[in-house]
Amino acid sequence: MTTFGDIAERLAHQAIELPSWAFGNSGTRFKVFTTPGTPRTVEEKLADAATVHRLTGLAPSVALHIPWDRVDDYDKLSRHAQDLGVRLGTINSNTFQDDDYKFGSLTHVDERIRAKAIAHQLECIDIMDQTGSRDLKIWLPDGTNYPGQGDLRDRQDRLADSLQQVYARLGEHQRLVLEYKFFEPAFYATDVPDWGTSLVQCLALGERAMVCLDTGHHAPGTNIEFIVMQLLRLGRLGAFDFNSRFYADDDLIVGAADPFQLFRILHEVVRGGGYGPGSEVAFMLDQCHNVEDKIPGQIRSVLNVQEMTARALLVDRTALLEAERAGDVLAGNGILMDAFYTDVRADLADWRAGRGLPADPMQAYAASGYQSQIAADRVGGTQAGWGA
């Protein structure tokens, strides 16, 4: 049997990157609700992210989205992040909010627009050079709504050519991480709909091209942990965008909709060597807090990932392997379920207290006065949000 004491040290390796945009206003296509204290600037987003890290010790880096977080001086922004106790992480490009991209970006049939989309990715790599970021994350809105709207194969060929041009510009220690999504904003065919397509494109590029798995980007019922296993097996799991979904790409708090699925995913991560100091897998959140407060929403999220990681680490691997080899179906399933049902919350509270962190970060945030402080301080200006 594996006990909490056996895994305590390994929990210290956990690092979850926060998305800057989680602190801005977001919503559905029906309404974006604003909240007092929402950041107006990227510096304020970093301050909120640093608060999450200070209270949890789990979130040492922050992902930026360009152009949402564009600034004049990235050295200065990096230093600002450092002063707050965090660092700048993944740079996410954005080719989904410009009129030119109505019919695609890296796949566009018009060479001028395709060149513009490539130039945007190169701008993001320039930013990475300044921020010291390792990963360029590309998610494309490209796709078609109607059969016959575009030539599926030509689009794939243009994508390969565009990605090649971007990949060629990467520095030695930088990576291109290609995210897939099976629908939205295109509904008939997206150009990178699944992990297979992302992987095929990555394999053609080279070793520093990796797949990004956003947990909300699959059809209902998809066995996501299988994909995790396969990508780890092939050494191509670059990053996670964690969130949870009931229906579509809901971008809700990770672990809220289906904690068991999160457990199964993290079990495969641990089993496949994706967790710990030797792993290069980036664990990121990609979430929106439309109706709940954003900072505690992020705190809850990283705690959910930590809790489920602890439970995944608790799986008795030796006993599991034995049961699997012996064909003991129920014993194997029982070993997994024992770990999943272990309530680790009290142990984690002690673990935090032993490391100088608040035993209950949610409660510590509520008691800190930070929320009312930012509501009082951040008056005037334009709150950050989609497209802001």
- Residue ranges that bind ligand PSV, judged by CB under 6 A: 21, 92, 139, 179, 181, 214, 241, 249, 286
Residue nearest to ligand PSV (CB): 139
What is the full DSSP assignment across 188-216?
SEESS-SHHHHHHHHHHH-TTEEEEEETT
Among 214, 251, 307, 347, which residue sits at the site for Mn ion (rule: CB under 5 A)?
214
Whether a cis peptide bond, with omega within 30° of 0, leads into 185 is: yes
**Residue among 174 and 371 whose Cβ is closer to ligand PSV:** 174
Nearest to 266 by CA among 232, 311, 214, 299: 311
Which partner in Mn ion, ligand PSV, none is near 17 (CB below 5 to 8 A by kind)?
none
Closest distance of CB 39 from ligand PSV, Å: 16
> For strand 143-144 and strand 189-190, is the pairing parallel, antiparallel, or unpaired?
antiparallel
**Residue among 17 and 249 whose Cβ is closer to ligand PSV:** 249
**Residue among 137 and 158 whose Cβ is closer to Mn ion:** 137
**Residue among 24 and 296 whose Cβ is closer to ligand PSV:** 24
Closest distance of CB 284 from Mn ion, Å: 8
The yes or no reply on residue 251 touching Mn ion (CB under 5 A) is: no
Q: Do 243 and 277 meet the contact criterion of CB atoms below 8 Å apart?
A: no
* Residue 91 dihedral angles phi and psi, to the nearest 5°: -100, 120
The two three-digit tokens of residue 29, written as one number? 């296509």
Closest distance of CB 274 from Mn ion, Å: 18
Rg (C-alpha) for the chain, rounded Å, is 21
Which partner in Mn ion, ligand PSV, none is near 181 (CB below 5 to 8 A by kind)?
ligand PSV
Which partner in ligand PSV, Mn ion, none is near 74 (CB below 5 to 8 A by kind)?
none
Closest distance of CB 179 from Mn ion, Å: 6
Q: Do 87 and 81 meet the contact criterion of CB atoms below 8 Å apart?
A: yes
The two three-digit tokens of residue 256, written as one number? 């809220």
Among 191, 268, 286, 307, which residue sits at the site for Mn ion (rule: CB under 5 A)?
286
Look-up of token digits 């097996």: 233
The two three-digit tokens of residue 57, written as one number? 């010790």
Which partner in Mn ion, ligand PSV, none is near 92 (CB below 5 to 8 A by kind)?
ligand PSV
The yes or no reply on residue 17 touching Mn ion (CB under 5 A) is: no
The yes or no reply on residue 135 touching Mn ion (CB under 5 A) is: no
What's CA 349's distance to the chain center, in Å?
A: 25
Look-up of token digits 């199964």: 264
> For strand 135-139 and strand 175-179, is the pairing parallel, antiparallel, or unpaired?
parallel
Stretch that binds Mn ion, among 21-29, 128-136, 281-289, 306-314 (CB under 5 A): 281-289
Residues near Mn ion (CB under 5 A) are 214, 241, 286
